[in-house]
Amino acid sequence: MTRVAAIDCGTNSIRLLIADVVRDDSGARLSDVHREMRIVRLGEGVDATGSFAEPALARTRAALTDYAALLQTHSVSTVRMVATSATRDAANRDEFFAMTADVLDAAVPGAVAEVITGTEEAELSFRGAVGELDPAAAPFVVVDLGGGSTEVVLGGPAELDGTAPTGTNVLASYSANIGCVRLTERCLKSDPPTEAEIADARAVVRDGLAAAFDAVPVEQARTWVGVAGTMTTLSALAMNLATYDSDAIHLARVGFDDLQKVCGGLLAMTRRQRAALGPMHEGRVDVIGGGAIVVEELARALGERAGINELVVSEHDILDGIALSIP
């Protein structure tokens, strides 16, 4: 058994998982020690300026400093930190990496952050998302909807790729430059967004998803699995939860009718009304509408292309994939 830590630094949030990796003849599995998320909005303005803003870097440093203290408290032996969409796009990313190296090295000597490609991000998200699902429900299309990008990944089963029937083999993936933060900053300026703004956002999403569906044959999928904060929050709202409850949300199934109702409702609300919703994290209030549009368009397309009529939401995602990737 080895104690490891995974840190995922995305466009909207930075998240930490400390876990014990247990290895046996059946493979590796995780036993959670600590899991945490902070909204730091690292990618704020990157779509427009091409660079990280100093306040965003300061927010990220503060959260990472707290995480580094937890690594020491829990005697973590190895940490892997990955940075995704916003960092791939930022002109001043060297400043980000100097900061992360300084903070991480104090807790785990030699630890550094790394940028991963959209393909790597997709594969890690897929591995983390489907580990607890029945292989008989494969092929899975896993969608990781982030702040700056959306990863679409198709995986399994054996008859499609000739390997062992685990249902966890990645067959195709694509990283589209659409996400809740990027879409909100680009299109949704009003409160609530106007019909014209929503139409513009839908056009952007459809263009991005068209490229994804050209690369990923989602027609082969039997099960849609959604991960990350937009997906889990929509699930909580569809279930009418009074507060955010990870246990209730994990592996919940949301029918498309309920999903469309929640998404439409969010787009009609003001920021103040969204903030009053019990399961809503304050850091998602202003960008959840953009995420809802991506989810609506995904549901429409997957219904038409694959005959899928529900979303399975997983609380396990790229964090778990990162932890499992540590040797």
Q: Which CATH number covers residue 204?
A: 3.30.420.150
Write the single-letter amino acid at 157.
P
| Shared-domain flag, residues 104 and 174 | no
Flag whether 211 is in a domain.
Answer: yes
Give every residue of the chain whose pLDDT is below 50, as ranges: 157-167
324 domain-assigned: no
Do 291 and 212 belong to one domain? yes
| CATH, residue 103 | 3.30.420.40
Q: What is the pLDDT of residue 204?
A: 96
pLDDT for the residue 85: 66
Does 325 fall in a domain? Answer: no
Among 49, 84, 115, give the residue marking a domain's end: 115
Residue 296: the pLDDT is: 96
pLDDT of residue 284: 92
- Classified as helix, coil or strand, 153 is strand
Check: CB of residue 97 under 8 Å from CB of residue 24.
no
Q: How many domains does the chain have?
A: 2
Is 124 within a domain?
Answer: no
The predicted model scores a pTM of: 0.83
Q: Compute φ and ψ for 316, nearest 5 degrees.
A: -100, 130
pLDDT at 28: 75
Helix or strand holding residue 121 (H, E): helix 118-130
> What is the extent of the structural domain holding 58?
2-115
| pLDDT recorded at residue 166 | 40
Same domain, 28 and 56: yes
| Cα 57 from Cα 263, distance rounded (Å) | 31
pLDDT at residue 162 in the model: 43
The amino acid at 128 = G
**Cα 127 from Cα 227, distance rounded (Å):** 12
Q: Is 313 exposed, middle or buried (0-12, 13-18, 19+ CB in 10 A)?
A: buried
The pLDDT assigned to 159 comes to 46
Contact 306, 221 (CB under 8 A): yes
Provide the 8-state DSSP code for 151: E
